[in-house]
Structure 1
Amino acid sequence: MSDFPVVGDMQASAPPVGLALSRAGVTGVHKAIRIRRGDHEILMAAEIDCTVDLARDQKGVHMSRFPELFDEAIDDVVLGEGLLVEALADRIASQIVRRQHALRAEVRIVARWPQRRRTPVTGLTTQEMVSLIGIAAATGEGSRRVVGVEATGINACPCAQGLVRGRAAERLAEAGFGDDVERILDLVPIATHNQRGRGTLLVGTAHDLDAEDLAGIVERSMSAPVYELLKRPDELHVVEHAHLRPRFVEDSVRIALKELLDAEPQLDDGDFVLSRQVNLETIHDHDVVAERWGTVEEIRGELDGGPPPARQTSLEAWLGAS
């Protein structure tokens, strides 16, 4: 006979306060996953968050069962065919709804994806890391999923550049350059302060999208891409390119959404899009951020000249409609 007392299902017992919880689960679970990108499969390190809605009469969630379900789903992927990251999130969320008898489950996976590319002038091979994001929400009736990326670039500040240009024009005029001032300023990149930026693009759709295409949209929305490896000719190219295309944090968000909808005309009106840009300031002791979210119909309508929607559909609301 065991010396240990038999413990009942504590999670299913009544809580001290009868109040439903919006989320309960686990966060920061680290796993290795195999993801399909085009014709290739890549083994990636991923971080997984998973939560469920908790009823008012249930004390807790079976937290220890989450990693077990993760392992089962991931083993299927590693041993079998690789999946898209958003499909893996969908699979885990749907399994948790069935196995935990939850009303709703939400899963977020962020994997670090190595991209190989060449430097712009010398053509050297370099590896850049992009965050690959998969989000899914599932209920007993169905699921919705989101694919996205987060990539790094550089933004050159238009405001400071305008001030520098104005002061340079005054100095050139004082030095006697007269009618040549504007021509000189058009030929020479004008100084400004730079901001390393992190751009995020999320798309909620049943269509399969290529994460590499999304990463390209994010990088092009900024003044210039950045590279881990740069020789001097490459460095000159990046700096000149950035200063010839100055952009605010707000510019990057708008440009990314427009390019996405231009590049992906198959997206349905009810699909979801979100663009977020965070710039790490250099001359201020704070960072700057801009975001826009909504359905494809909301964004397209405004880009076509229509009025802004009375209410922009958020990611939470869109996932909640699953």
Structure 2
Amino acid sequence: MFQHELPDIQNEKDERHVSIDKVGVSDVVYPIVVLDKANKIQHTVGNINMYVDLPEDFRGTHMSRFVEVLNVHRGKMTVRNMENILEDMRKRLNARVAHIEVEFDYFVLRKAPVSKIESYTPYKAKFIAKKDEEFDFILQVKVPIQTLCPCSKEISERGAHNQRALADISIRMKKLVWIEEIINFAEKAASSPLYTLLKREDEKYVTEHAYDNPKFVEDVVRDIAVQLEKDERITWYTIKVTSHESIHTHNAYACLSKKKGG
């Protein structure tokens, strides 16, 4: 039976003469595979945004083609494959610029400091990439840490206030930097790392370690920056540290962004 070709509404000519910077799909939940320093690969679930530019002549873009690109690449979201994914988006959608953002939970098997009992700690990681004439890639890792207030320790006769904080580190790199390395940069700069599972002897160690290592958010940002400056693979970075204050109704915050060599 003869079937008429369905109309392609998206390719209709638009007469308003307004180009759009980004059109596409957001919050696509999709299984992905990422590189894992200890185990080579790690299976996780990504929350993915994919966009291209839309010239003024076209009414819309073909949303299904974004997911088709994911299907072709089988969810392999690695630094090495990201440029290929973006180039595929550009070709399939006849676009000049392609963008992709992939946020996912990344798990690291950690040992408690004294008991050495193992448990998985989750971290939020994100790939932010863009391709036009050139390729740009940013790795973002959010690391939960603990901070203990130096001022509180100095003025109090008993104890000091401490709290959970978040170190948010984004980098551009010229050679591969592992997610685990970014986590290590943040935890070295903290009053103490955080753990999923601690026994009593571990809790004692973590509490006393934090007390012996008080840090303002400003201290944490600067200590992370010193480490990033020494790493020749990293060309640009942004560090944000937010301390969720335990005795205040507000948070404490510090931020530093720098292009190395500039």
Same fold (TM over 0.5): yes
Alpha carbon RMSD of aligned pairs, Å? 2.3
Q: Name segments (4+ residues, structure 1) moved above 6 Å.
A: none
Q: Percent identity?
A: 25
State which drifts further: 92-101 or 16-25: 16-25
User: Residue deviations 1:230-262, cap 9 Å, x none?
Assistant: 111111111111122222222222211211222
Which residue number corresponds to residue 198 of structure 1? 166
User: Residue deviations 1:21-58, cap 9 Å, x none?
Assistant: 22222221111112222362221122111122222332
Aligned mate of 1:123, from 116, 120, 137: 116
C-alpha distance in 2 between matches for 1:253 and 1:15: 49
Q: What runs of 5+ residues in structure 2 fail to find an aligned partner? A: none
Given residue 87 of structure 1, which amino acid in structure 2 is its aligned partner?
A: R
Rg comparison, structure with higher value? 1
1:237–1:64 Cα change, 3 Å = same
C-alpha distance in 2 between matches for 1:247 and 1:31: 38
C-alpha distance in 1 between matches for 2:153 and 2:2: 76
Which residue number corresponds to residue 145 of structure 1? 137
**TM-score, scaled to structure 1:** 0.74
1:23–1:118 Cα change, 3 Å = same
1:288 to partner: Cα distance: 3.3
Q: How many residues are matched? A: 261
1:120–1:12 Cα change, 3 Å = same
Q: Does 1:237 align with 2:237?
A: no
SS at match of 1:297: coil
Which residue number corresponds to residue 99 of structure 1? 92
8 Å CA contact 2:174–2:233 kept in 1: the answer is no
**TM-score, scaled to structure 2:** 0.89
Structure in which a larger fraction of residues adopt helix: 1
8 Å CA contact 2:146–2:210 kept in 1: the answer is yes
State which drifts further: 237-246 or 274-283: 274-283
1:108 to partner: Cα distance: 1.3
Which residue number corresponds to residue 52 of structure 1? 52
Which residue number corresponds to residue 183 of structure 1? none
Given residue 286 of structure 1, which amino acid in structure 2 is its aligned partner?
A: H
Given residue 66 of structure 1, which amino acid in structure 2 is its aligned partner?
A: F
Given residue 134 of structure 2, which amino acid in structure 1 is its aligned partner?
A: G
User: Residue deviations 1:119-159, cap 9 Å, x none?
Assistant: 011111121112232221101x2312122322111111223
Q: What runs of 5+ residues in structure 1 fail to find an aligned partner? A: 78-82, 169-189, 299-322
Structure in which a larger fraction of residues adopt strand: 2
